[in-house]
Amino acid sequence: MIREGDRIPSLPLVAVDAEGQRAVKADELFAGKRAVLFAVPGAFTPTCSQRHLPGFVEQADALYAKGVELIACVAVNDAFVMQAWGAANGVADKVLMLADGGATFTRSLGLEMETGDFGGVRSQRYAMIIDDGVVTRLLLEAPKAFEVSSAEYVLSQL
């Protein structure tokens, strides 16, 4: 499992923003900047849609004021789902949506979970503070919890 002090791996993701969809390498995306990456088990699911993503949209200005240059949300969903979910939550240019459709990135971090018929392999819920591609804080939630990966908690760690 990825740990504090580890580098973000060079693996593909699909970034979704106002300009559309584009392939990115995770290590290149986070190189040279201070970033917050948070992961959700699934787009359009209750906690993810009602609290997790909206919290980062609401706290984006405060996070950017503390020196964060990029806020990104990753889920094991395809790019079309991430695009629709971002639009439904008004992320605009506040949060970059990242699709990990095959869970390659999530598995490489060792942060996958098997949900069976709920959706198969999904990501555990977490947030990371990343400085120039290095994880400086890993905030991993206990199963079914939502505390340390919230935008408010991340803000308190900066």
Out of 13, 37, 39, 48, the active site residue is 48
pLDDT on residue 131 = 98
Q: Domain for residue 7, yes or no?
A: no
Position 106 pLDDT exceeds 80: yes
Domains: count for the chain? 1
> Cα angle at 21 between 28 and 6, to 5 degrees?
25
What's the chain's average pLDDT? Answer: 94
Of 123, 120, 118, which is closest to residue 141 (Cα–Cα)? 123
By the 8 A CB rule, do 36 and 128 touch?
A: yes
CATH code, domain carrying 88: 3.40.30.10
Q: Quick one: pLDDT at residue 144?
A: 87
Percent of the chain residues topping a pLDDT of 70: 99
Residue 21: its pLDDT value, please?
95
23-43, pLDDT tens digit by residue?
999 999 999 999 999 999 989
Instruction: Answer yes or no: 48 catalytic.
Output: yes
Q: Indicate whether 124 pLDDT > 90.
A: yes
Range of the domain at 118: 12-130
